[in-house]
Amino acid sequence: MSNSKNRSAYAAAGVDIDAADRAKALIKERARIARRPEVLGDIGFFGGLFEFKGYENPVLVASADGVGTKLKIAAALGRHDTVGIDLVNHCVNDILTCGAEPLFFLDYIGTGKLVPEQIADVVKGLAEACRNARCALIGGETAEMPGLYAAGDYDLVGFIVGVVERPRILDGTSIAPGDTIIGLPSSGLHTNGYSLVRKIFGTEPTVLKTFHAELGSTLGEALLTPHRCYLHDLKPLLPRIKGLAHITGGGLLDNIPRLFRSPIAAHIRKESWEVPPIFKMIQRQGKIDEREMYRVFNMGIGMAIFCSPADADELLAALPGARVIGEVIPGERNVLIN
């Protein structure tokens, strides 16, 4: 059987190899901006090559995550250049909580029908965020799977590897009662809570494109605001920090206790920061209980910093928008919000 017949049969089954080839060419073009000197070779080989050097007692830190149903908002608005930023920044923040800096990143995109220009927009965001974090985008996978994904749907997942010198690992073991908790502002919902948001507002473009004075933007623009990256703000200050909690799914209530290794708790004073308007709108429109809001959403705090009271003023002065939001108390590895 000829190659042309093979291709046409596969296309009839819903998989377009020619589209995949175009997508790969566009991906390679976009990804070249996110390189480091340690990268060997180019995107497109069977594996990404990264020469590991320059560390005395290195510990590799790895993480994987996705963007979730924020992709539904992006698809409804036909805007795909920000979700890659979300993914990279989320992963960078996750390994930062261990004290690690990113080395390289890989992505996975699964879709029902491969649209090369759409994939290129996604990778553009991935590459820009990787470059900003000095993280190499060394490869990934794009899979066209008709029948598994509905028309117009795609999934986006990322895998990151970073490094930290062993003596500098942040693991929360030194956190003790009396320590200060500092909050860094989020840029919005980041990448969590979108299933609830879609239930409340839906995904009709006319709704998402409606301007709201309290938001200072359309609803869709507020919902697509990219996940903030905290790497450059926090990296020079890590020696003064005892622990970091990235406030993602589970909110303040579930993420902060992940740090605790002894019978301690966090006392959070919710009046210490102004909850951004987007969360107030969600709570009002959805009639959501306040405790559930604090468990689903970050409520305006994207990263919680744990430090000695003696270091708090230095951190506050160095971090724009930072504020003291609570303190560590004796307890049972939980969070008290009042």
Structural domains of the chain sorted by starting position, each given as residue range(s) with its CATH number in brackets: 3-168 (3.30.1330.10), 180-337 (3.90.650.10)
pLDDT at 69 over 70: yes
pLDDT at residue 39, rounded to an integer: 82
Mean pLDDT for 221-235 is 98
Please classify residue 78 by burial: count the beta carbons closer than 10 Å to its beta carbon, then call 0-12 exposed, 13-18 middle and 19+ buried.
exposed
User: Is the pLDDT assigned to residue 6 strictly greater than 60?
Assistant: no
Mean pLDDT, the chain, rounded, equals 92
Confidence bin at 40 (pLDDT 50/70/90)? confident
Q: DSSP assignment, residue 109? A: E
pLDDT of residue 116: 86
Which whole number is the average pLDDT over 129-135?
97
Q: At residue 122, does pLDDT exceed 80?
A: yes
Give the model's pLDDT for residue 34: 72
Q: Is the pLDDT of residue 44 over 80?
A: no
Q: Which comes out higher in pLDDT, residue 149 or 179? A: 179
Kindly report, residue by residue over 172-201, the tens digit of the pLDDT: 999 999 999 999 999 999 999 999 999 999
Mean pLDDT, to the nearest integer, of 110-128? Answer: 92
- What confidence score (pLDDT) does residue 1 get? 44
Looking at residue 13, its pLDDT comes to 62
What does the pLDDT read at residue 310? Answer: 98
pLDDT of residue 12: 65
pLDDT category at 48 given cuts 50, 70, 90 is: confident
Each as own residue / partner, the long-range contacts of residues 114-119 (CB below 8 Å, 24 or more positions apart, any chain) are 114/16, 114/19, 114/20, 114/23, 114/142, 114/144, 115/19, 116/19, 116/22, 116/23, 116/26, 117/26, 118/80, 118/154, 119/23, 119/26, 119/27
pLDDT at 156 exceeding the cut of 90: yes
Question: What dihedral angle (degrees, nearest 10) is formed by the CA atoms of 131, 32, 112, 108?
Answer: -60
pLDDT of residue 29: 65
pLDDT of residue 42: 75
Report the C-alpha gap between 119 and 19 in whole angstroms. Answer: 11
Q: Span 267-275, mean pLDDT?
A: 97
- What is the per-residue pLDDT for 27? 63
Buried b (16+ CB within 10 A) or exposed e, 274-298: ebbbbbbbbbeeeebeeeebbbbbb
Both structure tokens of 145:
């799977």
The stretch 59-79 carries a mean pLDDT of 96
User: Is it the case that residue 291 has pLDDT exceeding 50?
Assistant: yes
- Cα separation of 62 and 125, whole Å? 21
What amino acid is encoded at 111 in this protein? T
Residue 209 confidence class, pLDDT cut points 50, 70, 90: very high
Condensed to tens digits (0 to 9), the pLDDT of residues 76-100 reads 999 999 999 999 999 999 999 999 9
2-11, 60-69, 81-90, 160-169: least confident range? 2-11
pLDDT (0 to 100) of residue 106: 96
Helix, strand, or coil (residue 57): coil
Structure tokens that stand for 299 in this block? 């409520």
- Check: CB of residue 253 under 8 Å from CB of residue 299: no
- Percent above pLDDT 90 for the chain: 79
Decide if pLDDT at 125 tops 80.
yes
pLDDT band at 37 (very low <50, low <70, confident <90, very high): confident
Nearest 10 degrees: Cα torsion 159, 80, 41, 17: 100
pLDDT for position 8 = 62
